[in-house]
Amino acid sequence: MNVNNLLYSWNHPLDVKENVGKFVALAEELQLSCVPVFRNQSYIGCVALEDIEVLEQDIPLEDFGYVLKEASFEIGASLLDILRSFANAESPVLFALDEQKEVVGYLDIIDFLGVCKETPLFFFGGDEIVVKKKRVDFTYSQLVQIIESNAAKIIGMFTLSVNTEDIQVSLRIDHNGLNEILQTLRRYEYEIISEHKEDLHNEILRDNADYFERYLNI
């Protein structure tokens, strides 16, 4: 999905040799949390307003090179790559770079999330299942096979966390019955992290516990 039509134009190539105060004034004027920095009209990074407003305003920005950070993405990047760039930059705006690394505009995270919510992963009315399994035993192909063998379709899949022990994955699925899918996943040693009204697992455990308690009281 293309985000080019969401870009705001950018025509303020402030050079790193300019005083800090000019960058602060520009960020405040445009109400942006960060602005790009150039050297001889070439993009070299960004500075956050909160980092530079506390510096001496009449000194060239290049004297404070440590405040430069990356807050950009390349035109043509996927939605996931852009989302990753937002997360890494910890910024509500990213600057778009063309193939020549020139700034062609900037993207606001609110507009970006508006595009994301239109994708099937977010708007589709199916159910979300969050599962966890030991990393050494986990394969995406097996997970897909389990879901599809139960007459369900995977609308989207997102890896939530990976560590040395486990992998946790979120799936959005279209299905005709969730309980059988959940029980099949458990048989293949997937731990179900999400909670579901259709999940009979806990009810079965309670029934077994009640039966065992009655047995002990005989």
Question: What CA–CA distance (Å, rounded) separates 50 from 64?
Answer: 14
pLDDT of residue 208: 44
Instruction: Give the residue extent of every domain in the chain.
Output: 4-116, 122-216
Q: Would you state the structure tokens that stand for residue 21, as one six-digit string?
A: 């105060």
Q: What does the buried/exposed string (b/e) look like for 195-208 if buried means 16 or more CB atoms within 10 Å of the residue's CB?
A: ebeebeeeeeeeee
Tens of pLDDT, residue by residue, the chain (218 residues): 678 899 999 999 999 999 999 999 999 999 999 999 999 999 999 999 999 999 999 999 999 999 999 999 999 998 889 999 999 999 999 999 999 989 999 999 999 999 888 887 777 777 889 999 999 999 999 999 999 999 999 988 889 999 999 999 999 999 988 899 999 999 999 999 998 887 765 555 454 445 445 544 55
Tally of CB atoms within 10 A around 76: 12
DSSP H helical ranges for 92-217? 109-116, 120-123, 140-149, 178-187, 201-216
pLDDT of residue 120: 74
**Does the fold of domain 122-216 match that of domain 4-116?**
no
pLDDT of residue 212: 47
Contacts 24+ apart (CB under 8 A), 6-12: 6/107, 6/108, 6/111, 6/112, 6/115, 7/96, 7/104, 7/105, 7/106, 7/107, 8/105, 8/106, 8/107, 8/108, 9/105, 10/36, 10/95, 10/103, 10/104, 10/105, 10/106
The fold adopted by the segment(s) 122-216 is Alpha-Beta Plaits (3.30.70)
3-state SS assignment for residue 160: strand
Superfamily of domain 4-116: CBS-domain (3.10.580.10)
pTM, rounded to two decimals:
0.73
pLDDT of residue 205: 47
pLDDT of residue 198: 75
Helices (H) and strands (E) in the chain, counts: 8, 9
How remote is the C-alpha of 98 from its chain's centroid?
A: 23
Question: What CA–CA distance (Å, rounded) separates 149 from 163?
Answer: 28
**First-to-last CA distance in the chain?**
65
